[in-house]
C-alpha cells in the first residue's frame, strides 16, 4: 500500500519533498554555524561529536569532537588553530540526570618561533618538534571528577602534548601523516589522545538544502547529492579511554543490560567573561559556556532561532524545561504537512523523538529507569562493534550505530530526515540528502579521522554518484 501511495503521488510528492526540505533546512544534521553567536566564533564552535567502540580497541570508549567549521586547506598565512583563550571540554553523564559526572578539560598554548617571518612553517618539517615549524601548539588534558555537578577532584592526564600541525603542503611537510602521528600521545590511567587538523568527517548536501533544489535526485535515497563539506578541514580532539574509567562504578561493562552500560556524551566550549586582551591567563570560576553539542540536529532544526544561543549556554539537565515543547511539537513536521500533504509526518506529541535522542531507547541507550530528557549522545558500552556496520544504524538493525553513539560512517542526515517524517512510528518515507559517505576513507586505527587535504590541493566539495534507491526501512 505504501509503495502504491508513492506511485500515485509521483512527481508532485518528489517536488513537495524537495521544496519542503529547503523551507525547513532539515539536512544540516551537524553543528556547522548553527547559532547566531557561535557563527561569529568559529574557534568556539563545536561542529560534531562522535562516540563509539572502535573495532581495534573494543574495551575503550573513543570520543571525537571537532571545532572550527569549513577550514579551507589553503587558508594561509594564518592557518587554523585552537584558541588559547578558550577551554574545550568532553563531558560525560553516567547517572542519567543530564549533569556531567566526568569532564575532560583541554587548554592550549601557542608559540611562534620566529615572529619576524610570515610563514606558518618552512621546508622541511620532518618532525612535530622541527624548528622549521614556526607556529606550534601544545595542550594539557585534565580529568575532572564531579558529584552533582560540583568538582570533587581532578587528575592531570597529560601535559605539554603537541598538536598536529595544519597540512600546509607537501613542499613544507613532505610526509604529513608521519608528522601528524607524532601527536598521538598516551595518557595517564590508560588510553591515548590526539589533537590537530583533520578532514571534516561530516557529509551533507548543504547547498541544496538552503536553495530551492533541496533534493537533487528522487527523494534523496539514490545518491546524486553534493557533499558541501568535502575537502574542508576541522580541528579535532580524539580521546580514547578504557571503559572502566567512565562508568558510574568505575567497573568494566559486563553486557548490554548492565546497569553501568550507558553514558551520555557532549562537547562544550567555555570562554572567560568579558575578555579584555589577548592574554591567555585564567582566573578561577570566571568562564562561561558559549557552545555545546550532543546529538546532531537538535540545536540546528529543533530549537528556534531566538533560543539557539540560550541552548548553547545552558546545560543538558534543563533541556526538558527550556526546550521540550519544540521536540514534542517540531515545527519541521508541521511545515512538511502544511506545504505538502501526503508525507503525513506526525506533528504533535513526538515522544518517539524524545526517546530516540533525549531520554534514550529502553534496553539500549536509556540511563537508569527515570533519566532526564537531556541532549546528550548516549552510547551503550556493552554493545560490541558491528562486524559489518550499516550507515543507517539502529533503524537498519545495527545496534552499534546512531543513535547508540555515533560512528564516523553513520549517515545521521538521512537517519534524522526519516525519523522526523515518522520512521519510528510506522510512517516509512525513504528520505535522504543524496550524500551517503565521507569524501575520504577513514583510518582503521587511532585517530581514525582522515588526514586533511594539503593546501595546494584545495578543491572542496564532492558529487555523490547515483545508485539504486535505498528502501525504507533501510537495508544498509
Instruction: Read off the pLDDT of residues 352-378 as tens digits, 9 standing for 90 and up.
Output: 999 999 999 999 999 999 999 999 999
Q: Is the pLDDT of residue 16 over 70?
A: no
Instruction: Please check whether residue 121 is in contact with residue 147, taking contact to mean a CB–CB distance below 8 angstroms.
Output: no
How many Å apart are CA 178 and CA 19, to the nearest integer? 46
| Number of CB atoms found within 10 A of residue 459's CB | 11
pLDDT at 211: 63
Q: Tell me the average pLDDT across 253-279.
A: 87
In which band, very low, low, confident or very high, does the pLDDT at 189 lie, cut at 50, 70 and 90?
Answer: very high
168-187 pLDDT per residue, tens: 999 999 999 999 999 999 99
pLDDT at 27: 35
In which band, very low, low, confident or very high, does the pLDDT at 470 lie, cut at 50, 70 and 90?
Answer: confident
**Residue 69 backbone zone (phi > 0: left; psi -120 to 50: alpha; other: beta):** beta
C-alpha cell at 339: 506545504
Q: Tell me the average pLDDT across 119-148.
A: 97
pLDDT at 341: 74
pLDDT at 407: 98
Instruction: Please check whether residue 252 is in contact with residue 244, taking contact to mean a CB–CB distance below 8 angstroms.
Output: yes
210-250 pLDDT per residue, tens: 663 377 888 789 999 999 999 999 999 999 999 999 999 99
118 to 74, 77, 112, 327, 458: CA distances (angstroms): 15, 7, 11, 49, 21
Q: Is the pLDDT of residue 35 over 80?
A: no
Instruction: Please give the share of the chain, as a percent, with pLDDT higher than 90.
Output: 73
Bridge partners (DSSP) of residue 46 are: 67
Q: Which of 354, 338, 342 is nearest to 219 (CA)?
A: 342
Residue 221 CB contacts under 8 Å (≥ 6 apart), including other chains: 414, 430, 431, 432, 434, 469, 470, 471, 472
Q: Tell me the average pLDDT across 320-339.
A: 86
| Number of CB atoms found within 10 A of residue 322's CB | 15
418-440 pLDDT per residue, tens: 998 899 999 998 888 899 999 99
**Residue 211 backbone zone (phi > 0: left; psi -120 to 50: alpha; other: beta):** beta
In which band, very low, low, confident or very high, does the pLDDT at 83 lie, cut at 50, 70 and 90?
Answer: very high
How many Å apart are CA 287 and CA 318, to the nearest integer? 19
As a whole number, the mean pLDDT across the chain is 88
First-to-last alpha carbon distance for the chain, in angstroms, is 23
C-alpha cell at 218: 528522487
Bridge partners (DSSP) of residue 226 are: 463
pLDDT at 298: 83
C-alpha cell at 205: 548536501
42-58 pLDDT per residue, tens: 899 999 999 999 999 99
Q: Is the pLDDT of residue 287 over 80?
A: yes
Q: Tell me the average pLDDT across 258-268.
A: 98
Amino acid at each position: 500500500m505504501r509503495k502504491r501511495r508513492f506511485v500515485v503521488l509521483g512527481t508532485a510528492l518528489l517536488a513537495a519533498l524537495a521544496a519542503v526540505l529547503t523551507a525547513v533546512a532539515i539536512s544540516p544534521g551537524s553543528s556547522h554555524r548553527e547559532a547566531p553567536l557561535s557563527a561569529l566564533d568559529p574557534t568556539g564552535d563545536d561542529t560534531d561529536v562522535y562516540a563509539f567502540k572502535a573495532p581495534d580497541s573494543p574495551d575503550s570508549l573513543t570520543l571525537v569532537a571537532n571545532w572550527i567549521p569549513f577550514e579551507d586547506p589553503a587558508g594561509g598565512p594564518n592557518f587554523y588553530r585552537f584558541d588559547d583563550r578558550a577551554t574545550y571540554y568532553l563531558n560525560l553523564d553516567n547517572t542519567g540526570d543530564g549533569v556531567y559526572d566526568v569532564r575532560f578539560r583541554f587548554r592550549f598554548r601557542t608559540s611562534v618561533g620566529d615572529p619576524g617571518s610570515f610563514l606558518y612553517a618552512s621546508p622541511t618539517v620532518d618532525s612535530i618538534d622541527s624548528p622549521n615549524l614556526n607556529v606550534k601548539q601544545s595542550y594539557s588534558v585534565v580529568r575532572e571528577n564531579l558529584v552533582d555537578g560540583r568538582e570533587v577532584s581532578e587528575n592531570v592526564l597529560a601535559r605539554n602534548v603537541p598538536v598536529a600541525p595544519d597540512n600546509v603542503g607537501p613542499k613544507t611537510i613532505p610526509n604529513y601523516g608521519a608528522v601528524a602521528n607524532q601527536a598521538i600521545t598516551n595518557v595517564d590511567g590508560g588510553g591515548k589522545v590526539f589533537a590537530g587538523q583533520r578532514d571534516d568527517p561530516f557529509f551533507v548536501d548543504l547547498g541544496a538544502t538552503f536553495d530551492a533544489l533541496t533534493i537533487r535526485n528522487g527523494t534523496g535515497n539514490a545518491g546524486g547529492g553534493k557533499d558541501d563539506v568535502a575537502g574542508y578541514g576541522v580541528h579535532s580532539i580524539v580521546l580514547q579511554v578504557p571503559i572502566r574509567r567512565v562508568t558510574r562504578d568505575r567497573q568494566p561493562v559486563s553486557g548490554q543490560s548492565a546497569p553501568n552500560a550507558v553514558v551520555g556524551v557532549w562537547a562544550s566550549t567555555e570562554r572567560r567573561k568579558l575578555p579584555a586582551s589577548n592574554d591567555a591567563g585564567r582566573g578561577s570560576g570566571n568562564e562561561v559556556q558559549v557552545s555545546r553539542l550532543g546529538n546532531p540536529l537538535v540545536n540546528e532544526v529543533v530549537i528556534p532561532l531566538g533560543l539557539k544561543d540560550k541552548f548553547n549556554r545552558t546545560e543538558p539537565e534543563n533541556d526538558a524545561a527550556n526546550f521540550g515543547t519544540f521536540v514534542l511539537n517540531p515545527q519541521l513536521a508541521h511545515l512538511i504537512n502544511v506545504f505538502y500533504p501526503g508525507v503525513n509526518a506526525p506533528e504533535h506529541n513526538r515522544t518517539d523523538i524524545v526517546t530516540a535522542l533525549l531520554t534514550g531507547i529502553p534496553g539500549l541507550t536509556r540511563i537508569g529507569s527515570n533519566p532526564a530528557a537531556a541532549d546528550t549522545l548516549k552510547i551503550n558500552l556493552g554493545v560490541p562493534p558491528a562486524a559489518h556496520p550499516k550507515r543507517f544504524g539502529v533503524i537498519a538493525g545495527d545496534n552499534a550505530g546512531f543513535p547508540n553513539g555515533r560512528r564516523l560512517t553513520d549517515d545521521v542526515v538521512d537517519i534524522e530526515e526519516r525519523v522526523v517524517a515518522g520512521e519510528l512510528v510506522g510512517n516509512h518515507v525513504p528520505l535522504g540528502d543524496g550524500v551517503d559517505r565521507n569524501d575520504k576513507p577513514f583510518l582503521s586505527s587511532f585517530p581514525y579521522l582522515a588526514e586533511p587535504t594539503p593546501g595546494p590541493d584545495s578543491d572542496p566539495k564532492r558529487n555523490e554518484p547515483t545508485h539504486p534507491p535505498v528502501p525504507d526501512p533501510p537495508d544498509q
